[in-house]
């Protein structure tokens, strides 16, 4: 096996014997076969009209390969077969050999991998939009263009061009998902979410899929079963069409990498909707349900139903069987706080744009930080907690994705009636952050790079890769990135990113804050 797609990759280089995430060599090798099959499919469809079935198969088969999604060799093998069947519908273009994926000139492997991993990340977003009835021809077509490009020879300049083009397409895809979410569930509004769990049966839902949550809420209504979000599902509390369900009570636990501790002995059913699954401990494996592309051998799976309607009755029955806690329980976030806020997406922030602009002009707000991205298990991520703790009182911290659990229970006070820490949502809501930055730049008649704004990102998996490429494609400079530099960036590629975009590896919170605020 060879896999270096996520931040926790073995020795910071590559997993070659067993995935640090728990992915087996068998699954990893099958994923390479699947990637090769997808390149073959992309070749075969060149110049032809692609059917909706093929489009959907392309995005789902890519999503399956994102870190912490599938640990199931059988499932990946089924995808290989399905993609080969799809390819056959478009004639007999030559196959791509998977051995070619990770071989060749180091810089070319690096650029090819960056594009592949970005595409995998975008596929997750496209799938979330798709289940809400939204697709975009240009985004769909780019999956095929990008995958075909992986099987071709390109100069370094051409690869960089492809990466920038991809970044722009991913912006479109995030806009599509933003549109899908807000048109279905309304614009998020600020919400304060408890970390406590009430007595009685309950279900914890994690991952990013809001439609799964919506259907779960419909099916638990009036049944005396409470629902709690976990990880990337926390921002659901901001959406009017989701928060209206009174049994959606609060948020249990923190980010994905704490699940083994948080789910141990938990007397509730747990539903994994997307990429957050770790190999479960035996003690709670029976309480877990996976759905859509998430799969782990031996775990119960809720199948896609007719017209996208799923039947969560097995999850509900499990919650009833487990009974929940006998009394109300108090839990806290990682810093001892017992509430978290969310819902500060673009509509809310831009709704108070005048206040924000006045506060900047009047000197009440000196700087904005976007401290966002993935969380992970490796040491070194305390940087983000300490960074936020050390931000001066006249600065605002915007955040998104699961990295926020490092500090989202800290009461950092207010600035001009707004909380100093504002959660904009899931990782895909980077779109919201971009919209806010663009609006501020317009208001101040300057470029985004001239704003008193610094992006301090943490990365873990491939969605962070596609977001980073979007930010770079937008020309956003001097982004801080940590906790480590992706293993798939060769030293030459990293050199280009540093030189062209001022991409900066994090150092210490003290040092970085000093430089930023100088
Ligand atoms: Fe990355 Fe977190 Fe959303 Fe994940 S955020 S790590 S599992 O939830 O996908 O950005
Ligand atoms: Fe290793 Fe990450 Fe790949 Fe898992 S996803 S095998 S941890 S690089």
ipTM of the complex: 0.94
Query: H or E segment at 89?
Result: none
CB distance 294 to 273 below 8 Å? yes
Note the ligand closest to the C-alpha atom of 467.
Answer: 1
Q: Is 330 helix (H, G, I), strand (E, B) or coil?
A: coil
The residue whose CA is least distant from atom 1 of ligand 1 is 374
Q: What is the pLDDT of residue 417?
A: 83
- The model's pTM is 0.97
pLDDT for the residue numbered 285: 98
Ligand 2, atom 5, residue with closest C-alpha: 67
pLDDT at 181: 98
Fold for the domain defined by 10-184: Substrate Binding Domain Of Dnak; Chain:A; Domain 2 (1.20.1270)
Kindly list the protein residues whose Cβ atom lies closer than 6 A to any atom of ligand 2. 3-6, 8-9, 15, 19-21, 23, 28, 67
Nearest CA to ligand 2 atom 2: 6
Residue of the nearest CA to atom 7 in ligand 1? 276
Q: What is the pLDDT along the chain (518 residues), one digit of tens a residue?
A: 999 999 999 999 999 999 999 999 999 999 999 999 999 999 999 999 999 999 999 999 999 999 999 999 999 999 999 999 999 999 989 999 999 999 999 999 999 999 999 999 999 999 999 999 999 999 999 999 999 999 999 999 999 999 999 999 999 999 999 999 999 999 999 999 999 999 999 999 999 999 999 999 999 999 999 999 999 999 999 999 999 999 999 999 999 999 999 999 999 999 999 999 999 999 999 999 999 999 999 999 999 988 889 999 999 999 999 999 999 999 999 999 999 999 999 999 999 999 999 999 999 999 999 999 999 988 789 999 999 999 999 999 999 999 999 999 999 999 988 899 999 999 999 999 999 999 999 999 999 999 999 999 999 999 999 999 999 999 999 999 999 999 999 999 999 999 999 999 999 999 999 999 99
Angle between helix 430-443 and 353-361 (nearest 10): 60
The residue whose CA is least distant from atom 3 of ligand 1 is 427
Does residue 402's CB lie within 6 angstroms of at least one atom of ligand 1?
yes
pLDDT score at 379: 78
Spacing, Cα 97 to ligand 2 middle (Å): 21
**Taking phi first (over 0 means left), then psi (-120 to 50 degrees means alpha), and beta for anything else, what does residue 216 get?**
alpha
Ligand index nearest the alpha carbon of residue 402:
1
Go through 26-47 and write b for each residue having 16 or more CB atoms within 10 A of its CB, e for each that does not: ebbbbbbbbbbbbbbbbbbbee
Within 10 angstroms of residue 388's Cβ, the number of other Cβ atoms is 24
Torsion sign, CA atoms 458, 339, 243, 223: positive
Q: Which ligand is nearest to the CA of 459?
A: 1
Whether the bond between 507 and the residue before it is cis, its omega within 30 degrees of 0, is no
Please identify, by atom number, the ligand 2 atom nearest to the C-alpha of residue 20: 7
State how beta strands 300-302 and 288-291 pair. Answer: parallel
Mutation test residue for ligand 2: of 1, 3, 276, the one with most atoms within 8 Å of CB = 3
To test the ligand 2 pocket, which listed residue (7, 8, 17, 22) has its Cβ within 8 A of the most ligand atoms? Answer: 8
What's the confidence (pLDDT) of residue 150? 98
Ligand 2 atom at shortest distance from the alpha carbon of 5: 8
Q: How far is the CA of 461 from the centre of ligand 2 (A)?
A: 9
User: What is the rounded CA–CA span in Å between residue 122 and residue 464?
Assistant: 10
Q: Which ligand sits closest to the CA of 27?
A: 2
Phi and psi (nearest 5°) for 271? -115, 120
**Cα separation, 304 vs 310, whole angstroms:** 6
Q: How far apart are CA 148 and CA 93, in angstroms?
A: 11
Q: Do domains 10-184 and 343-517 have the same CATH topology?
A: no
DSSP 139: H
Which residue minimizes the CA distance to atom 6 of ligand 1? 374
The ligand placed nearest to the CA atom of residue 277 is 1
Architecture in CATH for domain 191-322: 3-Layer(aba) Sandwich (3.40)
- CATH number at 343-517: 3.40.50.2030
Locate the domains of the chain by residue range: 10-184, 191-322, 343-517
Ligand 1 mutation pick, 5, 461, 468, max ligand atoms within 8 A of CB: 461
Residue among 463, 470, 471 to mutate when testing ligand 1 (max atoms within 8 A of CB): 463
255 φ/ψ angles, rounded to the nearest 5 degrees: -90, 170
Cα separation, 23 vs 61, whole angstroms: 17
Structure tokens at 108: 């070319």
Q: Is the peptide bond before 14 cis (omega within 30 degrees of 0)?
A: no
């Amino acid at each position: 096996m060879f896999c270096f797609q996520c931040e926790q990759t073995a020795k910071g280089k590559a997993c070659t014997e067993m995935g640090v995430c728990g992915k087996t060599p068998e699954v990893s090798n099958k994923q390479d076969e699947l990637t090769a099959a997808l390149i073959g499919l992309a070749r075969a469809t060149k110049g032809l009209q692609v059917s909706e079935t093929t489009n959907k198969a392309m995005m789902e088969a890519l999503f399956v390969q994102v870190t912490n999604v599938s640990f199931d060799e059988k499932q990946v093998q089924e995808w290989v077969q399905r993609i080969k069947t799809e390819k056959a519908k478009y004639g007999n273009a030559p196959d791509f050999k998977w051995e070619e994926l990770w071989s060749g000139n180091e810089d070319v492997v690096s650029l090819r991998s960056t594009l592949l991993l970005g595409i995998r990340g975008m596929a997750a977003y496209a799938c979330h939009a798709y289940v809400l009835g939204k697709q975009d021809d240009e985004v769909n077509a780019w999956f095929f263009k990008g995958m075909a490009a992986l099987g071709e020879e390109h100069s370094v300049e051409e690869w960089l061009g492809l990466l920038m083009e991809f970044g722009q397409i991913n912006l479109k895809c995030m806009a599509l998902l933003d549109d899908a979410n807000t048109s279905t569930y309304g614009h998020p509004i600020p919400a304060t979410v408890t970390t406590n769990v009430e007595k009685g049966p309950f279900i914890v839902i994690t991952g990013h899929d809001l439609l799964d949550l919506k259907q779960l809420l419909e099916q638990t209504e009036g049944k005396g079963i409470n629902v709690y979000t976990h990880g990337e599902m926390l921002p659901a509390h901001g959406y009017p069409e989701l928060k209206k369900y009174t049994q959606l009570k609060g948020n249990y636990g923190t980010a994905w990498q704490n699940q083994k501790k948080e789910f141990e002995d938990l007397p509730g059913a747990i539903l994994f909707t997307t990429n957050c699954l770790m190999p479960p401990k035996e003690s709670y494996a029976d309480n877990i349900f996976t759905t859509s592309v998430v799969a782990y051998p031996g775990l119960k799976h809720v199948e896609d139903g007719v017209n996208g309607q799923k039947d969560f009755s097995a999850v509900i029955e499990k919650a009833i069987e487990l009974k929940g806690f006998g009394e109300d329980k108090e839990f806290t976030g990682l810093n001892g706080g017992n509430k978290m806020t969310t819902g500060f997406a673009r509509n809310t922030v831009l709704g108070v744009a005048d206040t924000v602009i006045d506060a900047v002009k009047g000197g009440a707000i000196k700087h904005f930080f976007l401290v966002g991205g993935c969380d992970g298990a490796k040491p070194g991520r305390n940087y983000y907690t300490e960074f936020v703790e050390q931000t001066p009182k006249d600065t605002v911290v915007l955040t998104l994705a699961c990295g926020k659990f490092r500090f989202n229970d800290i009461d950092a006070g207010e600035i001009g009636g707004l909380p100093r820490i504002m959660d904009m949502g899931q990782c895909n809501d980077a779109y919201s952050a971009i919209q806010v930055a663009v609006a501020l730049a317009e208001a101040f008649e300057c470029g985004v790079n001239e704003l008193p704004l610094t992006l301090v990102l943490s990365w873990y998996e491939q969605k962070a890769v596609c977001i980073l490429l979007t930010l770079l494609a937008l020309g956003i400079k001097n982004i801080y990135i940590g906790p480590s530099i992706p293993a798939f960036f060769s030293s030459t590629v990293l050199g280009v990113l540093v030189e062209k975009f001022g991409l900066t590896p994090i150092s210490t919170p003290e040092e970085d804050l000093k430089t930023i605020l100088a």
